[in-house]
Structure 1
Amino acid sequence: MSDTVTTTRPGYGQLLRTPGAWTYLLPGFLARQPFAMLTIGIVLLVQHTTGSYGSAGAVAAVTGVSMALFAPQSGKLADRFGQSAVLIPGVLVHTASVVTLTVLALSGAPMWALFAAAVPTGASVPQIGPMVRARWAAKLEGSPLMSTAAAFESVTDEFTFVVGPVLATALCTGVHPAAGLVAEATLTLVGGLFFAVQRRTQPQAGRLSLTDGPRVSALSVPGVRVLAGAFLGIGAVFGGMQVSLTAFSEEIGNPGVNGLLYGTFAAGNMLAGIACGAIAWKVGPRRRLIVGYAALTLAASGLWAVHSVPLLAGLGLLVGLCIAPALITGYTMIETLVPASARTEAFTWLTGAVALGQAAGVTVAGRLADANGASAGFLVPLVGTGLALVTLVALRSRLAPKAPGRVAARGVSHRVPVTVD
């Protein structure tokens, strides 16, 4: 099998001139900010009220696990009944749940009560990113712009991880420990409802085209399961970095530097995403994915040994630069692995896997930071990405489309010969 992909990548400018795109991009950008604010907002508030990173990480983990379990079901319902029908009640439930969790934490409620409130908080997180990707897929079906849209969406996701955690940290440390979650709930309510009313651009619900075949669950596709397993590792990086950078900032007596450090890490994601979106790759997606995870594992291997702010910022930037290529490649592979009728669900499985990995990363890093300091917490990104790399190498054959070498009507290489290595 050839190791090259011949394709021409249209630019971002052409993509953004797509009719109607801005009607969902702007509210979608506002509504996806809470996804990046929720975990760090919970960690900072619960750590403030309990004095324990382990407890804070456990509450955040329950939220992440709930989101990972319920997000794919939300995506499946959106594919069947329409995005607005799922999003509007979800936004209302999420806002109420975050307010409840915040009040319980501030009132010194027992851990079981915080866990109980964290379940609906995570289960109702609006899946804005997957919904925007599904709108691009519906609007650009059969167009070479689809791969550019996938890269653009990953850049947007990374930008939210620059703005969201920094904003949440600044509010929690500079205004009030609960301010980050209050802002998260407000953005969810306002942005989510504005996005939901953009009905003209949402994919048509419950309809299969002649080329889609029978309706299937996205998780029945072996490649989706492999990608979800690999995305657990990326989630471990996000979770481990959030807790460990917070603990490191507390150790050096400068809590405010946490936002700068995490923002530098997330800026690396964004910069790499912008670059990836401008490249017409000559290497197939499977190989890019494996190389990306190998680079990420290597970059994360030095985090635990760094003890100065400038060095940690530099290494965090490098780790961030390695994340975006892996994310973009994984999301674009969905286009060739999954029929359109299950695409929103597939995107939410990947998003849910990131949330689940983040939950595990937050929990383990929190326990390690409590017991052994921030340096021990930085081992979580290394172990998470290392395990994901092993999974990808062992199961790489499952990432091939069912008909290798076919001419694809949509996806990473539109109407050109598709190769996967």
Structure 2
Amino acid sequence: MASTVVSEKRPGYGQLLRTPGALSFLIPGFAARQPFAMLTIGIVLLVQHTTGSYGSAGAVAAVTGVSMALFAPQSGKLADRFGQRAVLVPGVLVHSAAVSLLVVLALAGAPLWALFLAAVPAGASVPQVGPMVRARWAAKLDGTPLMPTAAAFESVTDEFTFVVGPVLATALCTGVHPAAGLITEAALTLFGGLFFAAQRATQPPFGALAAAGRNGAEPHRSALSVPGVRVLVVAFLGIGAVFGGMQVSLTAFSEEIGNPGANGLLYGVFAAGNMLAGIAMGAVAWKIGPRRRLLLGYAGLTVAASLLWTAHSVPLLAALGLVVGLCIAPALITGYTIVETLIPATARTEAFTWLTGAVALGQALAVTVAGRLADAHGSGAGFLVPAAGTALAFVTLVALRSRLRPREASRVAARGIGHRVPVAVD
């Protein structure tokens, strides 16, 4: 189908931030997002320091990531049903305690199985603040021209945490103490999460599922039952493979050249490219539809990731990392934009957490595989993981792209009504 051009200029970030009540949840939400950016790299650096093995460090980080991927959607379902505060408060308390226990065990030289046991609750309780913030935006702006800008702004915020988080964790672990990164992560989670949970005025409505059932509305199904959501989950697994593979491989590369501090710089350049692309995505009124944007962005990501293993110097690796980062933001932002068109409002938080969990799972698997490859064959072999992950996900996207059509399209055809503001479609 031909692309439809949107004639209206997209509202800017300034207009978005003037939305009443927005800053009250954005500021604490930023602090509470840091676990997702700091947790994996903090575990890798601490466990590698105490065991001397990237494979062991990657395995512990992987357990955390898998645990998060499995429990994040359940957290989203509970938030949709009982409210965000009811999920966040116990979650941040459990997470801070579990991360603290993991630190104590690692420093005490506990066996690997003990670290695995502590990693499970640490991952399962990671607060899903990013999806919760997106749900708050959606509740406030649904059907308005500001919604695409909000989606881009959220991805920029996510990527900014990936600039700040890994660099901060690396600096603390290498410059202060190997455990300082995780200790800071636990503190930010606790205070940021509790402050965010306290913002009741902007919390989206909850308990709508029971009301919908009583009113005879369409019965609620899991967001994962929607074919398009499953396709996006695969795409986000590939994105997670980039994050995880690069975290381990950049750390190994920095150790190989005798400059551990270069890790934070290299990852920061990668994440900065991601953030810059996200800013641009939010400022442009696109003339091509979201499905096509997703495919084009993912194609670029796949090509860029396939070249990482060829870099043997800091400048070249930084340049390639920048390009990879520039390609991730379009895929992330467009994926979140598409998923909102596939599911009903009562499953928003759950759908967002499936995508976030997919990134965590892809990151966990990549950290494990890349860690073992780096131990056995060096950092160059570890960079093959992002290449393989993005290639497999891209093939899936191309093959199943027809499943990403908005659910409203079929409802408009059937009922002759619709409520969304016109956007570019494929």
For the aligned pair, the TM-score class normalised by the smaller chain equals: over 0.9
Task: Answer yes or no: is the 8 Å Cα contact 1:78–1:344 preserved in 2.
Answer: yes
Give aligned pairs, total. Answer: 417
Q: 1:234 aligns with which of 231, 239, 242?
A: 239
1:65 equivalent in structure 2: 66
Superposed CA deviations along residues 60-91 of structure 1, whole A, max 9, x for unmatched, are 00000000000000000000000000000000
Shift in Å, 1:3? 2.5
Aligned-partner residue type, residue 81 of structure 1: F
Instruction: Spell out, residue by residue over 1:185-233, the C-alpha distance to the aligned partner (whole angstroms, 9 max, x if none).
Output: 0000000000001011011111257897332211111111110111000
1:416 to 397, 405, 422: 422
Alignment of 1:347 onto 2:352: yes
2:297 is matched with which residue?
292
Q: CA deviation at 1:111?
A: 0.6
Shift of 1:144: 1.0
SS at match of 1:10: coil
SS at match of 1:102: helix
Q: Aligned equivalents of 2:7 and 2:333: distance in 1? A: 16
Distance 2:376 2:317 in 1: 21
- Pairs within 5 Å for 1:162-241: 162-207=163-208, 213-241=218-246
1:303 pairs with 2:308: yes
Quote the residue 1:388 is aligned against: 393
- Pairs within 5 Å for 1:16-415: 16-207=17-208, 213-404=218-409, 406=412, 414-415=420-421
SS in 1 for 2:144: coil
**Distance (Å, rounded) in 2 between the aligned partners of 1:60 and 1:91:** 19
Find the aligned partners of 1:233 and 1:94 in 2 and give their Cα distance: 26
Change (3 A) 1:34 1:7: farther
- Partner amino acid for 2:148? S
The secondary structure found in structure 1 opposite 2:371 is helix
Equivalent residue letter for 2:82: F
Supply the AA of the counterpart residue of 2:276. L
Give, as a single letter, the amino acid of the residue that structure 2 aligns with 1:61: A
Distance (whole Å) between structure 1 residues aligned to residue 339 and residue 403 of structure 2: 13
* 1:357-385: CA deviation from partner (whole Å, max 9, x where unpaired): 00011001000000000000001111010
Structure 1 position 252, deviation (Å): 0.2
Q: 1:41–1:49: structure 2 CA closer, same or farther, 3 Å change rule?
A: same
Distance 1:361 1:417, change over 3 A: closer
CA–CA distance in 2 between the matches of 1:321 and 1:211?
Answer: 46
- Sequence identity of aligned pairs in percent? 79
- Give the distance between the partners of 2:180 and 2:158, measured in 1 at CA: 22
CA contact (8 A) 1:212 1:340 kept: no
* Structure 1 residue 3 corresponds to structure 2 residue 32: no
Aligned-partner Cα distance in 2 for 1:211–1:76 = 20
- Find the residue that maps to 1:215 and give its secondary structure: coil
Shift of 1:408: 8.4
Judge conservation of contact 1:72–1:346 (CA < 8 Å) in 2: yes
Deviation at 1:124, TM superposition (A): 0.2
Residue segments in structure 1 that go unaligned for 5+ positions in a row: none
Asked whether the 8 Å contact 1:7–1:281 carries over to 2, the reply is no
Q: What is the CA deviation profile of residues 111-154 of structure 1, one whole-angstrom value per residue up to 9, with x for unaligned ones?
A: 11000110000000000000000000001122110110000000
Report SS of the residue matched to 1:404. helix
1:2 positional shift: 2.2
| Cα distance, 1:415 vs structure 2 | 2.2
For 1:352 and 1:248, the matched residues in 2 are separated by 27
Cα deviation per residue 1:15-68 (whole Å; 9 max; x = unaligned)? 000000000000001110121000000000000000000000000000000000
Q: Secondary structure at the match of 2:208?
A: coil
- d(CA) in 1 for partners of 2:251 and 2:142? 43
Q: Separation in 1 of the partners of 2:181 and 2:145? A: 39
Residues 193, 301 of structure 1: alpha-carbon distance in 2 compared, 3 angstrom cutoff? same
Distance 1:29 1:141 in 2: 22
Q: Secondary structure at the match of 1:324?
A: helix
Cα distance in 2, alignment partners of residues 114 and 349 from structure 1:
26
Aligned partner letter, 2:74: Q
Mark the CA change 1:214 to 1:105 in structure 2 (over 3 Å): closer, same or farther: same
- Say whether the 8 Å CA contact 2:288–2:424 is kept in structure 1: no
The answer (yes or no) to whether the contact 2:232–2:339 under 8 Å persists in 1 is no
Q: Deviations over 1:290-338 (max 9, x none)?
A: 1111100111111101111011111100000000000000001122111
CA distance in 2, matches of 1:20, 1:249: 43
Deviation of the 1:416 alpha carbon:
1.7
Amino acid at match of 2:6: T
CA 1:27–1:403: 2 relative to 1, 3 Å: closer
TM-score by length of 2: 0.95
